[in-house]
Amino acid sequence: MKFTAGQIAEYLNGTVEGDPDVTVDDVSRIEEGKPGTLAFLSNPKYEKHLYTTGASIVLLSKGFMPAKKIRCTLVWVDDAYEAIASLLQLREEMKPRPSGIAGNAYVDDTAVAGDNVYVGHYAVISKGAVLGDNVIVHPQAYIGDNVRIGNGTVIHPGVKVYHDCIIGRGCTLHAGVVVGSDGFGFAPQSDKNYKKIPQVGNVVIEDHVEIGANCTIDRAMMGSTIIRQGVKLDNLIQVAHNVEIGRNTVIAAQTGIAGSTKVGADCMIGGQAGIVGHLTIADGTRIAAQSGVASGITEKNTTVQGSPSFLYGKYQRSYVLYKKLPQLFERLQKIEDELDKAKQSGK
């Protein structure tokens, strides 16, 4: 479907500079732009491509000052990154959605499905499960006993949701996600073996949560592991039993959060971070990539880095010294050599 620059500007409450009737039917990265596509610029490091791009339309944030003449039509918006996100979301919403229940899917007689539900090939909907309106369950997904899934949630292929778990409205679970597998609970015995502790809780995922591919969210030993509203999890994240992640927190790939830790709202956690168990992480905390958090963070809006982590500013200053350690060691050796020579000469 084609859209003109004028239509795009109207949808985004933006303004057109250039030909309002130029059309696009696809999007492209600004460095790979070609005729008939729309691109955007939000990161200054890509500005050089703005002057050479072949894209027909480019979204720019108001206040940006081009250094050269731009050949393509521009749509000026308040925030180019937010604008492209809105357009891409609109594009996704315009795609035809699947509907109906595939003949080779299994839906238990006691399961309840709302209006306009889709269940794909070889998916399993177990006894007592409840699917809200407009839920999409893609092929080969498994929905366990008594699971509840809210309106408009999308379950991608191969997702496994174990019994008694609850998923809210407007959520997206990408391929390979496992929700509600047992937490890592084993009691050491006198004979050095380990006795499994039954995990009798569940997982509660609130509304508008997105969970990336191959994440695992363990069920609670007792009570619930809770993912609050608006949380966004990247791929390959481990959330252990009885963890709670606060509203609108975002976590990058390969992060692990150990049992019973409470992560606050509006936090940002970089990739490959590790957080030990039974901690409290304050609202607004920022944890740099590859950090190891071994103690609680009580002050809101704190930024930490390192393993073990400590305040970001102190870490940066410490790292400057760390990089100089070889030079400092050489200087120390020279000083020791000079002192030895002085002693030998009797000075």
One CATH from 3.40.630.30, 3.40.1390.10, 3.40.50.620, 3.40.50.1100 for 3-94: 3.40.1390.10
What's 297's DSSP letter? B
Q: What is the per-residue pLDDT for 156?
A: 98
- Tell me the pLDDT tens digit for each residue of 154-192: 999 999 999 999 999 999 999 999 999 999 999 999 999
CA-based angle 231:232:237, to the nearest 5?
A: 110
Which residues are designated catalytic?
241
In this prediction, residue 322 has a pLDDT band, given cuts at 50, 70 and 90, of confident
Residue-range domain boundaries for the chain? 3-94, 100-314, 317-344
pTM of the model: 0.89
341 — pLDDT class (breaks 50, 70, 90): confident
Q: Is the pLDDT of residue 340 over 90?
A: no
Q: Which fold has domain 100-314?
A: UDP N-Acetylglucosamine Acyltransferase; domain 1 (2.160.10)
Indicate the average pLDDT of the chain. Answer: 96
**The predicted structure's pLDDT at residue 88:** 94
3-state helix, strand, coil in the chain (%, to 5): 20, 30, 50
